[in-house]
């Protein structure tokens, strides 16, 4: 088990939003990019 300061560092929140919020933003951005690229492919094929 990590000691107390190490434990606190592990649980440290990001300077903005939350970790879950940042992960969701990244996943949604990827989904948006794939949909956008698929749309470009379909439009210009």
Partner 1 sequence: MSPLDWLVLFGTLAAIVGYGIWKTRTKQDMAGYLRGGYQDKWHTIGLSVMATQASAVTFLSTPGQAFDDGMRFIQFYFGLPLAMIALSILFVPRYFQLRVYTAYEFLEGRFDLKTRQLTAFLFLLQRGLSAGITIYAPAIILSTVLGWSLNLTCLAMGSVVILYTVAGGTRAVSQTQKHQMVVMLGGMAVAFLVIVRQLPPELSFRHAVHIAGTLGKLDIVDTSLNPSARYTLWSGLLGGFFLAMAYFGTDQSQVQRYLGARSIAESRLGLLFNGLLKIPMQFLILFVGVMVFVFYQFNAPPIFFNQAELARAHASAMAGKMHDLEQAHTAAFEHKRAELWQLDHALTGNDSTAIAAAEGSVRSAEAASAAIRQQAKQVIATALPSAKTKDADYVFLSFVMRNLPRGVVGLLLAVIFCAAMSAVASELTALASTTVVDIYKRSLRKNASDAHYVRAAKLFTAGWGVLAVLFATFASLLDNLIQAVNILGSLFYGTVLGIFMVAFFLRRVQGTAVFLAAIISEALVVTVFLRTNVSFLWYNVIGCAAVVMLAALLGSASRKPTLAG
The SS3 call for residue 2 is: coil
- Alpha helices of the chain — where are they, by DSSP H? 4-10, 19-44
User: Tokens 């434990």 belong to which residue?
Assistant: 7
Q: Do 17 and 23 touch, CB atoms closer than 8 A?
A: no
Q: Which residues bind partner 1 (CB under 8 A)?
A: 2, 6, 9-10, 12-15, 19, 22-23, 25-27, 29-30, 33-34, 37-38, 40-41, 43-45
Q: Minimal distance in Å, beta carbon 8 to partner 1? A: 10
Q: Minimal distance in Å, beta carbon 24 to partner 1? A: 9
Q: Minimal distance in Å, beta carbon 43 to partner 1? A: 7
């Amino acid at each position: 088990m990590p000691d107390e300061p190490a434990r606190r560092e592990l649980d440290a929140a990001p300077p903005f939003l939350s970790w879950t919020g940042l992960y969701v933003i990244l996943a949604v951005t990827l989904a948006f990019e794939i949909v956008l690229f698929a749309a470009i492919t379909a439009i210009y094929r």
